[in-house]
Structure 1
């Protein structure tokens, strides 16, 4: 028989999608959390999931799973809070009546487009898992007119910063006189993956927009806007058999 899973109170609240683990610890220390009817002040006090009863501010902890897609504008950082005081993606959700949500993966400050947020850590882990997660598709404006050799080199990839960077697929979308747009598909996402891959070939990125995660398209969600995912979209991003 598998023993019940135990986690600290703060981690449990975070895993349930109530708030971040740091914020949960603050709420526990402030005496706002009860475990089986008694106030706990230790964020690491063990909780048996499925057996113990948690209350926050006098109300039972009940979680409504929520999944959101956001069209992230350029210039916002993908984090709950920023030590440098920069605007975060949560600025786009300030007036939304939503539960606490965490970003699913990241888009760097200069990047735009489809960003997922949810309060379901297990679902988020499956989306970001390079082994089973869905592909991510980007439209990238570059400061050159690429040839077939460059596109093939991006597919083959290179070793940089302790890992192999490559594009699962890449094609030319359109070209102007001095710059062009590429469609790049990744089956994993390392830090600044596309930018580093192109920089290694002497190519600069002018814009980078994530337009799809798996079969989920950014579509007509306005910049800075968001919408909830429906049940079919949530299930459609999971690997087969889950």
Structure 2
């Protein structure tokens, strides 16, 4: 039986040792040994299960698979490093020694709520794929009280610079005198989709909170805190 072989950088990622881009950098810098010799080509084929890999002269074994959820605070950027020096979501993991974990999807700086992380790129890809991933549910505070026609337009879709932006479902949670809270469900994840959709309808977003991904609820997890997912939660979201 033929053993699966992939490019070395991809093997590093599949073993949960680093992201694929970080693996490419490590390989090109000559910091990775494959079966006893330095390899500088990130696409050099390697045996996924049995290759002996060393990083900085230390044997790099596959790490335990991790899946976790974070209640992302507002004001943090969803990236490992920010070229502008802004605080990132990884500040929430200071001191946890989790190894390499990557965000599964994104929330923009001004948004908050449920954000997944994992060192399992295959699982993450299934969650993030619009065709296979679960719906995402948001609670959105807006600067006016949308009428039925406006919410129907959100569901039908609005053309925004050539892209049709739509919500799978929209409902009014509560309303005050000048603003309201909406529950919006998406079955795809385009960049700043809700903000762009509402802006096209002349609605401003005051607050945007993701409260659920599929069956997984944010619940009462405190802001800035994280926890590991249970085996059942992982399977319900997209596990094998």
Same fold, judged at TM 0.5 (above): yes
Give the equivalent residue in structure 2 for 1:46.
45
Superposed structure 1 runs of 4+ greater than 4 Å apart: none
Give the deviation of 1:164 after TM superposition.
1.6
1:117 aligned residue: 117
Give the structure-2-normalised TM-score: 0.93
TM-score, scaled relative to structure 1:
0.92
Q: Does structure 1 residue 76 correspond to structure 2 residue 73? A: no
**Distance apart, 1:82 and its partner CA:** 1.4
Shift of 1:31: 4.3
Q: CA offsets per residue over residues 190-238 of structure 1, 9 Å max, x none?
A: 0110011111110000000000000100011111110010111000101
| d(CA) in 2 for partners of 1:185, 1:42 | 43
Instruction: Indicate yes or no: 2:171 matched with 1:171.
Output: yes
**Partners of 1:187 and 1:32 in 2: CA distance:** 41
1:178–1:162 CA distance, 2 compared to 1 (3 A): same
| Mapped partners of 1:73, 1:107: distance in 2 | 10
Moved more, 61-70 or 38-47: 38-47
Within the alignment, does 1:136 sit opposite 2:130 as a pair?
no
Give 5+ residue unaligned stretches, structure 2.
Answer: none
| 2:9–2:24 CA contact under 8 A, matched in 1 | yes
Measured after TM superposition, the shift of residue 6 of structure 1 is 3.5
- In the TM superposition, residue 162 of structure 1 has moved relative to its aligned partner by 3.5
1:187 counterpart residue number: 187
Q: Distance in 2 between matches of 1:53 and 1:103?
A: 28
The CA RMSD over aligned residues, in Å, is 1.8
Alignment gaps of 5+ in structure 1:
none
1:17 matched to 2:21? The reply is: no
Aligned length: 239
Partner SS state of residue 6, structure 2: strand
Q: How far apart are 1:29 and its partner, in Å?
A: 4.3
1:197 is aligned to 2:197: yes
Distance in 2 of aligned mates of 1:162 and 1:16: 39
Distance 1:176 1:54 in 2: 60
Where 1:207 maps in the other structure, the secondary structure is strand
Per the alignment, residue 32 of structure 2 pairs with: 33
